[in-house]
Amino acid sequence: MLDDFLPRQLRAAGLGCALAGGLLLASSPAHAQQLTSYVDPLIGTGGHGHVFIGANVPFGAVQLGPQNIFKGWDWCSGYHYSDSLLIGFSHTHLSGTGGSDLGDVLLMPYTGALKTDKGQQKAPHQGYLSRYSHQREKAQPGYYAVTLDDYGIRAELTSTERVGMHRYTFPKNNQPARVIIDLKEGIDDKATETYLEQVDAQTFIGHRFSQGWAKHQQLFFAIKVSVPVPAFALYNEAQALGGKSGKGTAVKGVLSFAKSPGVLQLKVGISPVSAQNALANIQAEIPGWDFAKVQQAANAKWNQELSKVTIESKDPVVRRTFYTSLYHAWFAPALFNDVNRDYRGT
């Protein structure tokens, strides 16, 4: 019987529909198969699907993905397939909920003049956002990549349970290269307190407190940069703050390089407890800078989970539907403790 094989959360996800018509389940894993190749993360990102797209691992606290300008209900996961403008990449998302929230700790690489506002749908060049196309977008379990057309930047994302890893390849030119950390932005929520501090040339810490569908949210973070940052400026909205730390309701930090750094990598750890725990999460889960290694490990984690349920249908459409549904079922519940087992209670 189906109930003997599928755990409760998978039945709730409606996988029984995908199993109709003679599909057979096997309880033994198929480790030799790369079942992640059947997953299409774009399924559910259009229409009223509200599905998260980006880089995560099964039940991971970090769900790192692209973010559009919020335009209403169909953007409640932060992204909708009909869109063509990105404002950056944030580290927490909901998926398939029908309700919008999260979108914490948004990063966006760009080039040229310093900008601290994302811009508007009808006036994109006034801000740091960028156009993009699906032809230059790639998504697979544990990995997401897109080209930011207005800047010629290739942005790649991967993750572990508590850490998101960014790899930005800037074009080789003499334009200033920048990365903005925008703590004002979320997914239809309101930042109530934001804090950002430069600890040293390669380390930043902070927090974002907010309220939306869920009240009194607190998220702490730490950021490690692969090379020393030569210039760092802090703002609250558009007002310059000066110094190495700042607090307000819309704090933003801009990392600036006089010319292209080529490949720039960042690691962003999150924590429900403290910025120091977020730093510890980075050190425990991604101590080095091998992006490919982290990506391969994320893919292996997804393949291990997907291999717990196998089907005998040879129909590629059936296999894609089944394993994409199974993949989506393992986004939640999301991990809510640090590597040292700390967590925040109610």
What are the domain boundaries of the chain?
A: 37-287+320-329
Strands of 190-200's sheet in order across = 137-140, 143-148, 153-159, 163-169, 263-271, 217-225, 203-211, 190-200, 245-248
- What does the angle CA 57 – CA 63 – CA 67 come to, to the nearest 5 degrees? 145
Nearest-angstrom CA–CA distance, 136 and 182: 25
pLDDT number for residue 100: 55
Reported confidence tier of residue 212, pLDDT bands at 50, 70, 90: confident
| C-alpha torsion 54→224→289→254, nearest 10 | 70
pLDDT at 236 over 50: yes
Output the CA–CA distances (angstroms, integers) from residue 111 to 96, 182, 219, 260, 333, in the order listed. 34, 16, 28, 9, 37
Q: What is the pLDDT of residue 23?
A: 44
pLDDT of 29 above 60: no
How many CB atoms neighbour CB 73 within 10 A? 13
Query: What is the helix (H) or strand (E) element at residue 130, kind and residue range?
Result: strand 130-131
Instruction: Determine contact, residues 132/84, Cβ cutoff 8 Å.
Output: yes
CB 187 within 8 A of CB 76: yes
- Write out pLDDT tens, residues 74-87: 666 678 889 999 99
Is residue 78 within 8 Å of residue 67, measured between CB atoms?
Answer: yes
Banded pLDDT at 15 (limits 50, 70, 90): very low
Contact between 211 and 218 under an 8 Å Cβ cutoff? The reply is: no
Q: Which range, 66-70, 184-188, 230-234, has the best average confidence (pLDDT)?
A: 230-234
What are the tens digits of pLDDT across the range 154-209? Answer: 999 999 999 999 999 999 998 999 999 999 987 778 889 999 999 999 999 999 99
Provide the percentage of residues in the chain whose pLDDT is more than 70.
87
> Residue 51 is which amino acid?
V
Q: What digits encode the pLDDT tens for the residues 121-156? A: 887 788 999 999 999 999 999 999 999 999 999 999
Report residue 161 CA to chain centroid gap: 11
pTM: 0.89
9 pLDDT above the threshold of 90: no
Q: Which residues of 22-52 are buried (b: 16+ CB within 10 A; e: fewer)?
A: ebeeeeebeeeeebbebbebbbbbeeebbbb
User: In the structure encoding, which two tokens stand for residue 170, read together?
Assistant: 């800037």
Give, in words, the CATH class of 37-287+320-329: mainly beta
CB atoms within 10 A of CB 148: 22
On the 0-12 / 13-18 / 19+ scale of CB atoms within 10 A, 291 is: buried
